Amino acid sequence: MKVSKTELHQLIKNKINKAGLSEEHASIVSDVLTFADARGIHSHGAMRVEYYSERIAKGGITNNPKFSFDQTGPSCGVFEGDNGSGFVAAKLAMDHAIEMAKENGVAVVGARNISHSGALAYYVEMAAAQDMVALSVCQSDPMVVPFGGSEPYFGTNPIAFAAPSNDDRMITFDMATTVQAWGKILHARSKKEAIPDSWAVDEEGNPTTDSTKVNALLPISGPKGYGLMMMVDILSGILLGVPFGKHVSSMYHDLSKGRELGQLHIVINPEFFIGLETFKKNISAMLDEIKAIAPSPGFKEVNYPGERGRMREKNYEAEGIEIVDDIYNYLVSDDIHYDRYDHKNKFAE
């Protein structure tokens, strides 16, 4: 099923609003989810709507949160999310960070006690669109073994970065600190397909190729990824006074309770360093030089981070966004959710 970006946005907004969020907050949630689908990141798009709707309807996301922002210094502050929508809290926290960076050169803003906030690329691109450089990190469910360990402790703990150029190109990357995303495991599991032995481990901590025996994921590049995911958890968890490591709440354990997650935005204004125009000119020069590199065998060209996602978005704008029929049927239905996720394990089973 192919739908236009406008139609998809409206369908998602309607469902989230019906579940209990205000029209304004539902629209922001829909902005981020539609952004993900338009970039081809379907694991963070419309397929998540039923889960969010069930959590909203059951009280695990505060419908009318008491948001507040405490600017604790000239370039730092903490946004209190009151377990409201993570999408809305993360966006508003980034708005504060951008404004402070415009005035003071840098800003570090944490959002705490929030729910899942989706694709981090959306938030860093907010800053890059206003000529800022941005880095964002956040926590997730404990499902990754530390290097050398056999039990999960950290989450996939993603990192996102964006920077503007002096043309319509923008550098963006959004990556988990695991070898492979959890969604890839679920996809292989649903099809009973094997996986590479570098992706995950079984209950004994041994590498496994059997997707049905996966107990935890592995960090990228062994100890390097382990260090990165620890860094993310410290910056978005311990620094903000929310649960950390194995204490981070499960996505599915109890949908009636808030998740108390943390997220940290760091925004830098190039004007306070090398100067905005020089910075953007040099970013464009870097991209030109990368694009001029001869591709290695098996590749047509060298892409810069974020390039392929924007190419997908242009194709979708022309041809429509591909949505699984079952998801589309749910979006156009009168049902809010089907009790599919509450009190389930990390496989949503």
Q: Is residue 26 part of a domain?
A: yes
Please give the pLDDT value at position 192. Answer: 82
What residues contact 172, with CB distance under 8 A and at least 6 apart? Answer: 121, 124, 125, 128, 160, 161, 162, 305, 306, 309
CATH at 316 = 1.10.1530.10
Structural tokens at position 41: 């990141």
From the list 96, 116, 265, 337, the catalytic residue is 116
Question: Could you confirm whether 265 is annotated as catalytic?
Answer: no
State how far the Cα of 99 lies from the Cα of 92, in Å rounded to an integer.
Answer: 11
Q: Is residue 294 part of a domain?
A: no
Return the half-sphere exposure (C-beta side, CA atoms, 13 A cut-off) of residue 260.
Answer: 15
Q: Is residue 300 part of a domain?
A: no
- Structural domain boundaries, residue 263: 68-272
Alpha helices by DSSP H, listed for the chain, are 5-19, 23-38, 49-57, 86-104, 121-128, 182-190, 223-236, 276-291, 307-319, 325-332
Sign of the torsion formed by the C-alpha atoms of 200, 202, 207 and 213: negative
Residues 54 and 74 in one domain: no
Nearest to residue 206, comparing CAs of 225, 194, 214? 214
Burial of 66 (0-12, 13-18, 19+ CB in 10 A): exposed
Based on the structure, what is the number of domains in the chain?
2
Nearest to residue 180, comparing CAs of 197, 199, 195, 193? 199
CA 200 vs CA 165, 175, 208, 222, 287: distances in Å: 37, 17, 6, 12, 34
Output the tens digit of pLDDT for each of the chain's 349 residues. Answer: 899 999 999 999 999 999 999 999 999 999 999 999 999 999 899 999 999 999 999 999 999 999 999 999 999 999 999 999 999 999 999 999 999 999 999 999 999 999 999 999 999 999 999 999 999 999 999 999 999 999 999 999 999 999 999 999 999 999 999 998 777 887 788 778 899 999 999 999 999 999 999 999 999 999 999 999 999 999 999 999 999 999 999 999 999 999 999 999 999 999 999 999 999 999 999 999 999 999 999 999 999 999 999 999 999 989 999 999 999 999 999 999 999 999 998 878 7
Residues 55 and 170 in one domain: no
CA 76 vs CA 103, 128, 160, 290: distances in Å: 12, 19, 19, 35
CATH at 266 = 3.30.1370.60
Residues 165 and 30 in one domain: no
Record the pTM: 0.96
State how far the Cα of 80 lies from the Cα of 83, in Å rounded to an integer.
Answer: 8
Residues 41 and 173 in one domain: no
Please give the pLDDT value at position 58. Answer: 97
Residues 107 and 252 in one domain: yes
Q: Is residue 195 part of a domain?
A: yes
Sign of the torsion formed by the C-alpha atoms of 215, 228, 236 and 246: positive
Q: Is residue 304 part of a domain?
A: no
Residues 168 and 146 in one domain: yes
Q: Is residue 298 part of a domain?
A: no
State how far the Cα of 123 lies from the Cα of 90, in Å rounded to an integer.
Answer: 7
Q: Is residue 277 part of a domain?
A: no
Please give the pLDDT value at position 292. Answer: 98
